[in-house]
Structure 1
Amino acid sequence: MKVGAMSESSLRIVRRFVNPEYLEPEVRAELHTWHKQGTGGPRTLPGFLRDDFATALGDALHALPYWVRYASVYEGDVRTREVPEEEWDGHPDKAARHYLIRPMLAAVESPDVPEEHRTVLRQFLAFVVTGPHFLSWVAGVVGDSLEPRTSFEFTRYGTGDHITPHHDLIPGRALAANFYLDNRYTASAGGRLWFREADGRDHVTEPEFNSFTMIPIRDGCRHWVEPYTGSEPGRYTANLQIHREY
């Protein structure tokens, strides 16, 4: 995905999903300045998606029957592997524990999922993951050419689930980003995103419904998700890893 002004066709598609204020040239320019300056914490954009689309997406994620438990540990500095959950708590190199949707294909194709939920999930995946238009917006923030596909997963958290501190310094990775999609989330449920700069300054982000958080990838910085404390699964999130074009 090349850098430059967004085409009219991309703007037209993005307007279908994103709050128009985030398409204004001065807003995109300010976000590019934030990313380029290389200091500070994550940047959160409240009310990022159109309200009706975000609500429909949150309802679909709450209703899906395909959530499975996932636990991973580190092998080396950034490489991880999945492990049985019973091995995770006592493991010295634990990385993450939460739920994932498996199989993703069933979420968008199975007749067991209501058609309105399949439709909104297909629309989101086509817009954010497989299509060029959202990445055109992100390329303007990063100020660099981007790979045409992103690494992606939907997650939710159970009581005590969390992600340990890590840096995401993987070759080519430009940005991590989260869409927070839990329309029943309350601040008392925890699961906040923490980001520590190289100089030790901490920044904390609430996973508020329909906010979009961009997490910079920088030497010496770490980020993590504190334990989720809700009694029911929550903190529904779409996680993206965006890469520069080689």
Structure 2
Amino acid sequence: MWLNDQKIIPSAIRRYRKALAASTPRHIVIDGLFDQQKLDSICAVLQQEQYWHSQKHSYSALYVDESQWHATPDTERFVQRDLWQGYIAVANHAQSAIALEFLQFLRGTEFMALLSKIFDVQVTDIHVAKPEINTNFFRLGARDFVNQHADDSPGREICLLLYLNKDWSNEQGGELVFMGKDDHSVTIAPLYNRCVLFDPSSEGSEHWVKAVTHGAAAAYRYNVTSWYWSE
């Protein structure tokens, strides 16, 4: 229903596993993994301005409030972006349900089984206290940023990034950059229905996002971020 069946056939899985073994960091890029018509419906939901909330992280504390943020030096700030408040959206607008349904699919048995097969590790939410907070939509504007950081929390096996930016061009910025190996960074454009899966504990997996340009035709860069743990 949500997945493009041609992207999950056995030969494709073998290619993904081979690419993981050959890359630094261990990552794969899959274009067109999800059903595009359904993603189009989600994109319409994400245009509802009232359901976005500013989120700020420093290197020493997550979810910093405004007073803490103003007291934090620029060099200690690593995330400023907007978070989608899906449960509020669904409660007020029935058409928003498809976006929440997709987030739930990404944490469901079918999709986690696919990830387990690709990465050859058993991912599960059995020991995750609040799994739903680990999968959500985010957006970045020209004033926002995601600076260099690692996602290698204990037990975290896989990170997913899915981009929802139609007609995105190189001039608009917003590229994901992995540190890579031996000064060879890896840069990935945030193109529509492009899914990036990576092992956050692998060499070179520290990453950041290039700034969205002020002159971008689209006001925001949209993506889903999701984290997965093993048993």
- Contact kept, 8 Å, 2:159 with 2:225, in 1: the verdict is yes
- Contact kept, 8 Å, 1:194 with 1:224, in 2: the verdict is yes
| Corresponding position of 1:223 | 207
- State yes or no: 1:194 paired with 2:171: no
The C-alpha deviation readout for 1:65-110, integer Å capped at 9, x for no partner, is 21122221011xxx634242862884321111111123x3112221
Structure 1 residue 193, shift from structure 2 partner = 0.2
Structure 1 residue 51, shift from structure 2 partner = 1.6
The C-alpha deviation readout for 1:48-70, integer Å capped at 9, x for no partner, is 21121111111111235211222
What does 1:22-41 align with in structure 2 at a 5 Å threshold?
22-37=7-22, 39-40=24-25
| Corresponding position of 2:64 | 82
| Corresponding position of 2:54 | 69
- Contact kept, 8 Å, 1:73 with 1:83, in 2: the verdict is no
Unmatched tracts of structure 2, length 5 or more: 126-130
Aligned length: 221
Give me the identity figure in percent.
19
**Paired amino acid for 1:133:** E
**Paired amino acid for 1:233:** A
Deviates more, 1:207-216 or 1:181-190: 181-190
- Contact kept, 8 Å, 2:78 with 2:146, in 1: the verdict is yes
The 3 A distance-change label for structure 1 pair 238 and 230 is: farther
- State yes or no: 1:210 paired with 2:196: no
| Corresponding position of 1:53 | 38
- Contact kept, 8 Å, 2:80 with 2:144, in 1: the verdict is yes
Q: Could you state the TM-score of these two structures normalised by the residue count of structure 1?
A: 0.81
CA distance in 2, matches of 1:24, 1:179: 20
Give the 4+ runs in structure 1 shifted more than 6 A. Answer: none
| Corresponding position of 2:82 | 99
- The alignment partner of 1:168 has SS state of coil
Which of 162, 166, 176 is residue 149 of structure 2 equivalent to? Answer: 166
- The alignment partner of 1:197 has SS state of strand
Structure 1 residue 38, shift from structure 2 partner = 5.8
Structure 1 residue 41, shift from structure 2 partner = 6.0
| Corresponding position of 1:147 | 124
- Contact kept, 8 Å, 1:41 with 1:203, in 2: the verdict is no
Deviates more, 1:52-61 or 1:27-36: 27-36
CA distance in 1, matches of 2:102, 2:209: 24
**Paired amino acid for 1:109:** A
Which of 134, 138, 143 is residue 115 of structure 2 equivalent to? Answer: 138
| Corresponding position of 1:235 | 221
Structure 1 residue 125, shift from structure 2 partner = 2.1
Unmatched tracts of structure 1, length 5 or more: 1-15
| Corresponding position of 2:128 | none
CA distance in 2, matches of 1:198, 1:243: 25
Structure 1 residue 40, shift from structure 2 partner = 4.8
The 3 A distance-change label for structure 1 pair 214 and 52 is: same
- Contact kept, 8 Å, 2:106 with 2:135, in 1: the verdict is no
Structure 1 residue 169, shift from structure 2 partner = 1.9
- The alignment partner of 1:92 has SS state of helix
The 3 A distance-change label for structure 1 pair 97 and 29 is: same
